Amino acid sequence: MEPAGLSRPVGTFGRVSPSEIEVSGLKVVLVRGSKLARRVIWAFILVVCFGLMLAQCLDRLFTFFSGPIAVTIQVTRNESLIFPAVTICSKNIDEAVDQFDGNRVEDLWRREFGASKYHGIWEATRILSEKLGGAEFWRLATYNISSIIASVGLPLAKYFVD
pLDDT tens for the 162 residues of the chain, in order:
454 556 666 666 667 776 677 788 888 888 788 888 999 999 999 999 999 999 999 999 999 888 777 778 888 877 777 766 666 665 554 554 446 667 788 888 888 888 778 778 888 888 888 888 888 887 787 756 566 666 665 555 455 544
Distance, CA of 5 to CA of 77 (rounded, Å): 67
**pTM across the whole model:** 0.34
pLDDT at 92: 55
Q: Cα–Cα distances in Å, from 152 out to 8, 98, 99, 144, 160? A: 83, 15, 14, 13, 12
